[in-house]
Structure 1
Amino acid sequence: MKVAIVHDSVGEFGGAERVVLALSKIWPEAPIYTSFVRHGQFLEKLKGKRIITSWANNIPFFATKLHSPLRFLAPLIWGSFDFSEYDVVISSSSWYITKGWGNAQSARWNGRGSKGPIEFCYCHTPPRWLYGFDSPANKKNPFIKAYIAILAHFMRIYDFERAQKVDYFIANSENIKKRIEKFYRREPKVIYPPIETKTNRGNQGIKGSRGKERKYYLIVSRITGGKGIEMAVKAANRLRIPLKIAGSPSGYSQTYEWIKKNAGPTVELLGYVPDGELGTLYARAKAFLALQRDEDFGMTLPEALSWGTPVVAYNGGGYPESVTHGKTGVLFDEYSVEGLIGGIRKLGGIRVKSEDCRKAAQKFSSARFKKEIQAYILSKFSR
């Protein structure tokens, strides 16, 4: 079975990129096709992999500055790839409409009765900027927001048409399953994304990893608009509680500058933290904060839970799929600074067992992801 992997772009390293990394380990010979490459953490992690870029990667400043305003080029970019030599295409799709190379379960032919590749689209979310969800695009100035709104009207048509060509959709959560059903009128299979849990059993050995020794609240996120980071900073300032923020500035957002200007003495910006050091941060945190409105799924929540750390999260999007209110954390309903403060205080009034948190994280393990996605793809391919 000859496999190709396709992803939006190679640049920042977030949850979607962790899925691509996992897929490339399951199918190590599969090349990774992408629109453009920008030097960064993800490219370093793909060292040794065959990466095939589109013609747009040769446009000066496209990867760094022009890909967002020129996102209307997506049809030309994805239309330039030829996957006829492959049996299976696995597309990893979120913001850049990365899908549409299958035959939508139509008649096929080639030595095994196929006209072309079977496409499995692992959908992290239908593009948030197309369907009215919070995203960096709608946090920009009014002129850019107006441009994006006009562009989105036409790109939604293209997005829907590409979705109809996908043979099998895989949703990263029940939350995204509902979006796929609503916007694409397709029925996806839910396979949760992978997190590393196998080494986390030893976190009791990290000093300050349990009980009253846990001192600070933690956010792990790219620093950009729509993540709720400003809300966390305001809450930390008012409560005078220690807050650590791990992550690098992303895109054209002014969030990073806002934090530097408004953060009180208890707020600490850590910048990019390597995976090898994140475990210690998780294990020593009093609680992990997850605050994006309408979050697709949120892989950092089960990561925090796997280190025995409870979560305070907004009760929306995909967060309730990994956090059990009152057992592994707190879900608060009012999306505001006051709502967050209430959630933090409520967590202080309940007893959360680290072992319960770790158990809750096991259903998101990398081994489980590998087993489920291999079985699903092979079952459909062999039909």
Structure 2
Amino acid sequence: MRPLEAARVAIVHDWLTVYAGAERVLEQMLLALPQADLYSLVDFVPEDARGFLGGRRARTSFLQRLPRARTHYRSYLPLMPLAVEQFDLSGYDLVISSSHAVAKGVLTGPDQLHLCICYSPIRYAWDLQHQYLEESGLTRGVKGAAARLLLHYVRLWDARTANGVDDFIAISGFIARRIQKVYRRDATVIYPPVDTDGFALRPDKEDFYLTASRLVPYKKIDLIVEAFSALPDRRLVVIGDGPEMAKVRAKAGPNVQLLGYQPFSVLKDHLQRARAFVFAAEEDFGIVPLEAQACGTPVIAYGKGGSLETVRGPEAGEGATGVFFEAQTVASLQGAVRAFEAQTFSPEAARANAERFSVARFQEAFGSFVAARYRAFHGVT
């Protein structure tokens, strides 16, 4: 078998539509394995945003050609398992699936190493099913019953296809536990890359709090806005847009400034100047809180999910980078704000914590893991 540098490599990503968290990981994987061919169910990344793909065009599935696929590709969920199984990967020595939905379901043979970097088992089919159905208005009626039946079959397929993965990589310990719960498989934790070099430490802070996110239900931006609106002597700035904007605007008091969507330069400027970044979602990992810490800005975070691994609470002493609140309620968040204001945080400690998740650290950890597993699987020295 040929050495890794000369190996035939395929990387399979669920879908390519935007440059978000999973695509940042994909970008670094493509840099680590420059010979890799790229596959994806659909590829609708605009021409002016394709830099992270290094000039590659993904080999896509039949979903790419279906009606309204550009804007409604998620509606084709029932066809996605079939679509991903149609990729012919038989000519590759190494297959890496980049999966939060169906990419790990690709078909591989006994002489092919299949590694899966898993952002999460399909959230809306497993532990978040009831939340997804409620937010989608599918809790009752014929459509609700059909949705539950569909998700039942997605779970069966998802569990079965985990057997085709030789090794799992999880993006956090939280996701490793979810993989163990759903697939009964161990996973090696390799945290996603954070571009810490792109953010400058700024020790002097201004007297405002910041939150930034797409305004969708699980991000709980409305909760943050409601909590700060009831604390009129504190100023909150909100960056982001989305379907929850009307709900958020209705809860915003005079001390809450809604900036809507802003370019990255504006977000970075606010991350550097803010007194603290407020984060109320239960995330699998969470990159923006680490970008805030790279600026020396501490974090007030909901104490579940990936935040427990990326933010150091008061128990870390001088190395603390934020505080946690225990429940997604107004009272709990307000209590955390008061607790935060009663303590002192070191901008340098926040920066040092963020650097544990740097791009260089990801490249070293990912490259070493892939090389070791490839050598062991193929017996290459």
1:120-199 matches, within 5 Å, as 120-133=115-128, 138-142=134-138, 143=140, 146-199=145-198
Partner of 2:11, secondary structure, is strand
Distance (whole Å) between structure 2 residues aligned to residue 92 and residue 122 of structure 1:
5
Distance in 1 (alpha carbons) for counterparts of 2:265 and 2:93: 36
How far apart, in 2, do the equivalents of 1:178 and 1:20 lie?
Answer: 22
2:279 corresponds to 1:263: no
Q: Distance in 2 between matches of 1:318 and 1:146?
A: 32
Compare 215-224 and 159-168 and name the one that shifted more: 215-224
Secondary structure, in 3 states, of the residue corresponding to 1:49? coil
Q: Could you tell me which of 192, 195, 208 is aligned with 1:216?
A: 208
Contact 1:38–1:64 (CA under 8 A) maintained in structure 2: no
Maintained 8 Å contact 1:102/1:118: no
When structure 1 is superposed on structure 2, of 43-52 and 8-17 the one drifting more is 43-52
Q: TM-score, normalised by structure 1?
A: 0.87
Specify the alignment match of 1:111 in structure 2: none
| Greater Cα offset, 229-238 or 265-274 | 265-274
Q: Distance in 2 between matches of 1:275 and 1:311?
A: 19
Q: Does 1:92 align with 2:98?
A: yes
1:186-233 deviation digits (Å, cap 9, x = unpaired): 111110110011243x433xxxx52xx423222232221211111011
Q: How big is the alpha-carbon RMSD for the aligned residues of Structure 1 and Structure 2?
A: 2.2
Of 129-138 and 311-320, deviating more is 129-138
Q: CA deviation at 1:328?
A: 0.7
User: 1:355 and 2:348 equivalent?
Assistant: yes
List aligned pairs for 1:170-319, cutoff 5 A: 170-200=169-199, 202-204=200-202, 210=204, 213-240=205-232, 241-249=234-242, 254-293=243-282, 295-319=283-307
Following the alignment from structure 1 to structure 2, what is the Cα–Cα distance between the partners of residues 93 and 155? 14
TM-score by length of 2: 0.87
Give 1:69's aligned residue.
75
Q: Which amino acid aligns with 1:270?
A: L
Which amino acid letter does the alignment assign opposite residue 313 of structure 1? A
SS in 2 for 1:129: helix
**Matches of 1:245 and 1:126 in 2, distance apart?**
30
Alignment partners' CA distance in 2, 1:148 and 1:270 = 36
Q: Unaligned stretches of 5+ in structure 1?
A: 109-113
Residue identity opposite 2:41 in structure 1 = S
Secondary structure in 2 matching 1:176: helix
Following superposition, the deviation at residue 12 of structure 1 comes to 3.2
CA distance in 2, matches of 1:37, 1:340: 40
Amino acid across the alignment from 2:56? K
Q: Match of 2:116, SS?
A: strand
Residues 105-129 of structure 1, C-alpha deviation per residue, up to 9 Å, x if partnerless?
x8x4xxxxx2xx3111111111110
Q: Distance in 2 between matches of 1:45 and 1:161?
A: 32
Partner of 2:369: 376
Distance 1:151 1:160, change over 3 A: same
Q: 2-side partners of 1:183 and 1:56: how far apart?
A: 27
Cα pair 2:85 2:105 within 8 Å, conserved: no
Retained in 2: the 8 A contact 1:217–1:244? yes
The secondary structure found in structure 2 opposite 1:215 is: coil
Checking the alignment, whether the CA contact within 8 Å between 1:10 and 1:38 is kept in structure 2 is yes
1:336 aligns with 2:329: yes
Q: CA deviation at 1:137?
A: 5.3
Report the CA distance shift for 1:197/1:351 in structure 2 as closer, same or farther (over 3 A): same
How far, CA to CA, are the matches of 2:335 and 2:168 in structure 1?
38
Native 8 Å contact 1:136 1:226 kept in 2: no
SS at match of 2:103: coil
Aligned CA distance change for structure 1 residues 52 and 320 (closer, same or farther; 3 Å): same
* C-alpha contact 2:294 2:351 (8 A) present in aligned 1: yes
Higher helix share: 2
Relative to 1, partners in 2 of residues 1:146 and 1:9: Cα closer, same or farther, differing over 3 Å? same
State the Cα distance separating 1:342 from its structure 2 match: 0.9
**1:43-89 CA-partner distances (Å, limit 9, x unpaired):** 46436222222110111212312x33331111111011111122212
Residue among 5, 8, 18 paired with 1:2: 8
1:270/1:23 CA distance change after superposition, 3 Å:
farther
Which stretch has the larger CA shift, 345-354 or 70-79?
70-79
CA, structure 1 residues 365+348, in 2 after alignment: closer, same or farther (shift >3 Å)? Answer: same
Shift of 1:277: 4.3
**Does the C-alpha gap of structure 1 residues 278 and 47 become closer, same or farther in structure 2, counting only changes over 3 Å?**
farther
Q: How far has the Cα of 1:379 moved from its partner?
A: 0.6
Distance 1:137 1:359 in 2: 40
**Structure 2 regions of 5+ residues with no counterpart?**
1-6, 315-319, 377-381
| Bigger mean CA offset, 21-30 vs 367-376 | 21-30
**Residues 1:248 and 1:37: Cα distance change in structure 2 (over 3 Å):** farther
Report how many aligned residue pairs link the two structures: 359
Change (3 A) 1:25 1:276: farther
